Structure 1
């Protein structure tokens, strides 16, 4: 299995295809298992995903390293390991936080930013409740129960459900707790005006967790497009994989290497 090293910590990653590099970043626990249905993009792109530190098959490092900034440094280590000049970051939900931080801190390495069901800060009751449920699950040693819930909500495919459950069960409770706590209080709204690469946000029209956050991006993030997938909820990489893949292809082919002249599709 392939691994890269960040801060003396061995982290698991998967790499498929050739071409422009898409780095997919998951919420805590899911890791590579969240993006199995993005594998068809390998016919045009280099599709890369990884298990964050302390998650799934990756080592923990220090317990205090479950922070957004360390997560960002791990992504930088992965990009360096790949030997990529620039990458297109694809952050899903919570995974959009380190993606935004990376785009701000390493603009020279960021070709474009794709945010799927994501947000710059937790500011709704529903999203805060989801974070607190994650924190409570680590307190009570209920990662197995959390894994079953997340697996069921993400996919009907039993084999993928089993891989999601296993990845979460194998995650370190201390690092998961630190991730949720750090994310609950993280705020990237001040960074957004400084992210000038082409950007795309994708939301499900029925997403009760983060749809309202689209306005944060629209008001602060330059050079962005916003896409709604009608009738879909939060778990877009698995529940609307075909639509997500097509939107990413269109964005990269028509916008990343061209001037953006509109705000929405």
Structure 2
């Protein structure tokens, strides 16, 4: 299995397939790289890179508490290990916050930023609620329940639901708790004007509670395009993978 070591001692699990322009996918806390298993078909046009955040999936948890700087540094080290000078960075949900912070910290390595259901801060009641549910589920040893919820909500088939749920169960409880708390308090809105790369926002047309954030990006960033996936809610990488992969191909091939 392919690993690189960040900070010299923390194993970071990754997979890479295909050739061409690199596109690196960043998953939300808990879900792991398997979130993007249906994006592997993009390997006919891109070098597709997926990885497990530290404390998630098959990656080590390390000794440092989770911060956005730590997560961005991990991704930077993965870029260096794979000798990626520049890539499209695609973050899903709160993985999009990590992608944004990486783009702000290492702008020369980001060709474009793709955010699926992305947000620059948590400032709406429904999104607050989503985070608090995750925080308290983890705090009160509810990872098995959280795993089933995430698996069932994202999977199309029973097998896919089980695969996703099993992967969530691999998480380190402390690191997952820290990721939820960090994500809740992260705010990049005041720095969006610093981003010089193109930003592609992809939202489900029925994912109403994050539509507000598209307007925030348009107000603060320079080069923003928004695409709505008809009939979709939040779970675009799995349940609307055909549309997502077509959008990525149409914008970047």
Bin of the TM-score, shorter chain as denominator length: over 0.9
Residue 209 of structure 1: how far off its partner (Å): 3.3
Query: What does residue 44 of structure 1 align with?
Result: 45
Structure 1 runs, 4 residues or longer, greater than 6 Å off = none
Preserved CA contact (<8 Å) 2:87 2:110: yes
Query: What does residue 59 of structure 1 align with?
Result: 60
For residues 167-186 of structure 1, the aligned pairs below 5 Å read 167-186=167-186
Give SS of 1:40's match.
helix
Residue 234 of structure 1: how far off its partner (Å): 0.6
Query: What does residue 128 of structure 1 align with?
Result: 128
TM value normalised by structure 1 = 0.93
Q: 1:242 and 2:242 equivalent?
A: yes
The separation in 1 between residues aligned to 2:217 and 2:249, in whole angstroms, is: 21
Query: What does residue 231 of structure 2 align with?
Result: 231
For residues 122-201 of structure 1, the aligned pairs below 5 Å read 122-201=122-201
Query: What does residue 84 of structure 1 align with?
Result: 84
The separation in 2 between residues aligned to 1:244 and 1:82, in whole angstroms, is: 25
Give SS of 2:186's match.
coil
Preserved CA contact (<8 Å) 1:126 1:208: no
For residues 3-18 of structure 1, the aligned pairs below 5 Å read 3-7=3-7, 8-18=9-19
Query: What does residue 263 of structure 1 align with?
Result: none
Query: What does residue 111 of structure 1 align with?
Result: 111
The separation in 2 between residues aligned to 1:230 and 1:212, in whole angstroms, is: 17
Residue 63 of structure 1: how far off its partner (Å): 4.8
The separation in 2 between residues aligned to 1:193 and 1:63, in whole angstroms, is: 30
Deviations for 1:113-132, whole angstroms, at most 9, x for unmatched residues? Answer: 10111100001111111111
Give SS of 1:219's match.
helix
Deviations for 1:95-122, whole angstroms, at most 9, x for unmatched residues? Answer: 0011111111111111111011110000
Query: What does residue 216 of structure 1 align with?
Result: 216
Q: Which runs of 5+ in 1 are unaligned?
A: 254-265
Preserved CA contact (<8 Å) 2:155 2:164: no
Q: Give the number of equivalent residue pairs.
A: 252
Deviations for 1:186-234, whole angstroms, at most 9, x for unmatched residues? Answer: 1001121110112110011110331211111111111121111121101
Query: What does residue 35 of structure 2 align with?
Result: 34
